[in-house]
Amino acid sequence: MKIQFQLNGKPTEVEFEPQETLAEVLRDRLNLTGTKVSCEVQVCGACTVLVDGLPVSACTLLAYEARNRDVLTIEGLARPNGTLHPIQQAFIDEFAFQCGYCTPGMILASKALLDENPAPSEAEIKEYMDGNICRCTGYVPIIKAIQRAAKVMSGQ
């Protein structure tokens, strides 16, 4: 099948078989390998991408579901000139990753959170992000990065 959708702000058309997941199509057909696949049972969040602004598990969502929708992957977050999104910069500044495998999903989940709730409390961060697993950092630096990004994004 063939679908059209907005991918990282660009109109995109792609052909694939119906059983292919969004992660497969992004990684194998569109060469966007920033989306990582880990647990494959929608527990870990490594494959998180945003569809119409909401986080989904690309490892389980069919690519078919992207038709006519707006998909944001980690590759689409920085500005075209390379300027990092404030969340990306905050992840670097706070050492909010180590191996980096959970990071694309973690950053996109953070973006969905901050778009919905620009000044989340620590408790709200923990609740929203609870479905994204990081095995390296022990999470504290990620919370700090989200708090830092929230401040930058709200112009504080």
Signed CA dihedral, 60, 62, 68, 74: sign only: positive
Distance CA 153, CA 156 (A): 8
Binding to another protein (CB under 8 A) within 98-137 occurs at 98-104, 107, 109, 112, 125-137
- Based on CB atoms, which residue is closest to another protein, 18 or 155? 18
Binding to another protein (CB under 8 A) within 82-101 occurs at 84, 88-89, 91-93, 95, 97-101
- Based on CB atoms, which residue is closest to another protein, 24 or 150? 24
- What is the token pair recorded at 24? 């497969």
Which x/- pattern over 34-53 shows residues binding another protein (rule: CB under 8 A)?
xxxxxxxxxxxxx-x--x--
Distance CA 114, CA 68 (A): 24
Distance CA 94, CA 19 (A): 39
- Based on CB atoms, which residue is closest to another protein, 131 or 147? 131
Closest by Cα among 68, 69, 54 to 131: 54
When asked if residue 18 is in the footprint of another protein (CB under 8 A), the reply is: yes
- Based on CB atoms, which residue is closest to another protein, 19 or 156? 19
Q: What's the helix, strand, coil split of the chain in %, to 5? A: 40, 15, 45
Out of 27, 30, 72, 120, name the contact with another protein by CB under 8 A.
27
**Min separation Cβ 1 and another protein, Å:** 8
